[in-house]
Amino acid sequence: MTATPGNATRLALLLLTLLPGVSLTAEPVVVTEKSFKCLKEMTPVRGFFVDNIAGNLEGTLAVAKSPTGGVYPPGSVVQLFPNEVMIKRENGFSPVTKDWEFFEIDVSKNGSTIRKRGFADVKNRFGGNCFACHVQAKPEWDMICEEGHGCEKLPIADGAIKALQNTDPRCTVNDATRMQKFNAWMIRVFTPL
Ligand code: HEC
């Protein structure tokens, strides 16, 4: 069999996949307002929620559940609050933020709208810079703070976090307790949204 250019190209691609550090899956990770979901439709991991918009939820879960950390694969979506999102862009896209893009979104029963997106310069609605806090996580945690990863603690109680998670207005199923609904309402009324 003679190698047609098509076969030669295929062979070259095959050989490339064998080289360490070369990924042929560096497809762009395209994020639109449709990329965001109600938290309850994402996969819960301890206190936060994950998804993968590049179809690699398994890869995302493997890192999220690893006791020793790791590097989240492209397309990973991570959320603690309905309004704040981290999405892993394609390899090498933003080395400073380890390829994480930070989002501040508005959520309502009609869906999500992006208020701010970017890398080292995105601030949440309290003026806090996402990157400045998340960069404090020890390297093995890939900028995921949780608790005990090295980040400064959030000035918000666990119960309040749960109340906001359980009252994500995008969710069709709402299983928040009356107390959580009341707490979330109080937080939303008394914080500058
Ligand atoms: C004041 C520091 C601070 C700022 C500012 C901040 N975060 Fe966080 N963030 C944290 C901490 C600490 C946690 C872990 C909280 C916990 O699990 O109790 C966290 C949790 C998260 C999580 C869940 C995964 C994790 O790291 O535990 C995401 C996603 C997230 N933040 C995104 C953002 C985005 C997006 C912004 C900006 C719009 C932002 N954060 C601003 C400190 C901060």
- Domain assignments of the chain as residue spans, ordered by start: 25-152
Query: Sign of the C-alpha dihedral, residues 144, 147, 150, 156?
Result: positive
Residue 92 is which amino acid? G
**Residue 27 confidence (pLDDT):** 84
Q: What is the Cα Rg of the chain in Å?
A: 19
pTM value is 0.88
State pLDDT tens for residues 135-158: 999 999 999 999 999 999 998 999
Indicate whether 190 pLDDT > 90: no
Ligand 1 centroid from CA 15, angstroms: 40
Per the structure block, which two tokens stand in for 185?
């309402």
- Strands across the sheet containing 100-108: 43-45, 48-52, 76-79, 84-88, 100-108, 111-118
- Is the shortest distance between the CB of 85 and ligand 1 below 6 Å? yes
pLDDT interval class at 116 (50, 70, 90): very high
State pLDDT tens for residues 1-47: 444 557 776 766 555 555 555 555 578 999 999 999 999 999 999 99
**Residue 146 confidence (pLDDT):** 96
Whose C-alpha lies nearest to ligand 1, atom 3? 133
Ligand 1 centroid from CA 104, angstroms: 11
Segments of the chain assigned E as strands: 43-45, 48-52, 76-79, 84-88, 100-108, 111-118
φ, ψ of residue 46 to 5 degrees: the values are 45, -115
Q: What is the mean pLDDT of the chain?
A: 90
111 DSSP β-pair partners? 108
Whose C-alpha lies nearest to ligand 1, atom 43? 133
Per the structure block, which two tokens stand in for 123?
């601030």
Whose C-alpha lies nearest to ligand 1, atom 22? 80
Q: Which residues contact 144 (CB under 8 A, 6 or more apart)?
A: 64, 72, 78, 134, 137
